[in-house]
Amino acid sequence: MTIESAPAPQATAAAARRPSVAVLVVIFTVVDSALQVLLIERSAPPAEGHWAIPGGALQHGESLDQAAVRKLAEETGVTDVFLEQLYTFADLDPASNDGSVGVAWFALVDPARVRLAQRTAWRPAWWSLDDIPPLAFDNERVIDVARDRLINKLQYTNAAYSLLPEHFTMRELQEVYEAILGRPLDKRNFRRRLLATDFIAATSEQRAEGPHRPARLYRFTSRS
């Protein structure tokens, strides 16, 4: 018969001090030519009355990927959009005695497809990145990292596909890029650069835009 010894006091104490793990999802969209982020107004402690990024604890048997997909669906009603793991942040919650770890993701959504969660508490709302209120849990830092990552992704991926409908004009695509980059772009140079990539392709369709001649519609060659 084997008799196992009790765990050492140090090991027991270390297990008791295991930090909590939360999954955060920074959800971006473009509305009225401005990059916006989804925030939740907290209705209970900690940080009651403050705004924060959507997030929560892992559910039993749930992976980090599954938690991020679930949280995105709960808040917006969509899942088949751009979603990528961003960074792991430590000590976003200074009130936690045992420490905290936040595994952050960021997502891009087309506002026309989104149906924000309807709640009497924990109210969701879109906020322009130029007008964000003071946030709980140092969430400003998380959003800054997410925007920097998004700007970099535009240089070599088709991540913007998730912010637009299936067919779009070159003007609409340029407005999305300008909203993310935070600066105007030269129309001719933008068109030339995008058409030189394999991200988009022209369709046979056109759309009338005001008094001007109909604009050519484009599509992303892949939406992934």
Residue 197 sits in a domain of what CATH number?
Answer: 1.10.10.10
Backbone phi and psi for residue 39, each to the nearest 5 degrees, phi listed first: -125, 155
Is residue 8, in this structure, part of any structural domain at all?
Answer: no
Same domain (yes/no): 114, 214: no
Q: In the predicted model, is pLDDT for residue 94 greater than 80?
A: no
Residue type, 58: L
Residue type, 211: P
Is residue 4, in this structure, part of any structural domain at all?
Answer: no
Question: How far is the C-alpha of 100 from the C-alpha of 180, rounded, in Å?
Answer: 30
Which among 154, 181, 205 is the end of a domain? 154
Same domain (yes/no): 98, 179: no
Same domain (yes/no): 57, 29: yes
Is residue 1, in this structure, part of any structural domain at all?
Answer: no
Same domain (yes/no): 80, 106: yes
Same domain (yes/no): 184, 114: no
Mean confidence (pLDDT) of the chain = 88
Is residue 12, in this structure, part of any structural domain at all?
Answer: no
Parent domain of 53:
19-154
Predicted local confidence at residue 204, as pLDDT: 96
Which among 154, 181, 202 is the end of a domain? 154
Same domain (yes/no): 134, 176: no
Same domain (yes/no): 148, 168: no
The model's pLDDT over 134-148, given as tens digits with 9 standing for 90+, comes to 999 999 999 999 999
Same domain (yes/no): 27, 125: yes
Is residue 26, in this structure, part of any structural domain at all?
Answer: yes
> What is the reported pTM?
0.88
Which among 130, 154, 178 is the end of a domain? 154
87 beta partners: 104
Q: Higher pLDDT residue, 45 or 176?
A: 176
Q: Confidence band (pLDDT; 50, 70, 90) for 12?
A: very low
Q: Confidence band (pLDDT; 50, 70, 90) for 212?
A: confident
Same domain (yes/no): 23, 110: yes
Is residue 5, in this structure, part of any structural domain at all?
Answer: no
Predicted local confidence at residue 209, as pLDDT: 76
A 10 A CB-CB count for 187 gives 11
Question: How far is the C-alpha of 116 from the C-alpha of 68, rounded, in Å?
Answer: 16
Burial class (CB in 10 A: 0-12, 13-18, 19+), 166: exposed
Predicted local confidence at residue 45, as pLDDT: 86
State how many domains the chain has: 2
Dihedral in degrees, nearest 10, Cα atoms 174, 180, 181, 187 = 10
Is residue 28, in this structure, part of any structural domain at all?
Answer: yes
Burial class (CB in 10 A: 0-12, 13-18, 19+), 39: buried
A 10 A CB-CB count for 208 gives 9
Same domain (yes/no): 70, 138: yes
Is residue 3, in this structure, part of any structural domain at all?
Answer: no
Q: Higher pLDDT residue, 187 or 209?
A: 187
Same domain (yes/no): 203, 175: yes
Specify the CATH number for the domain of residue 74. 3.90.79.10
Same domain (yes/no): 122, 206: no
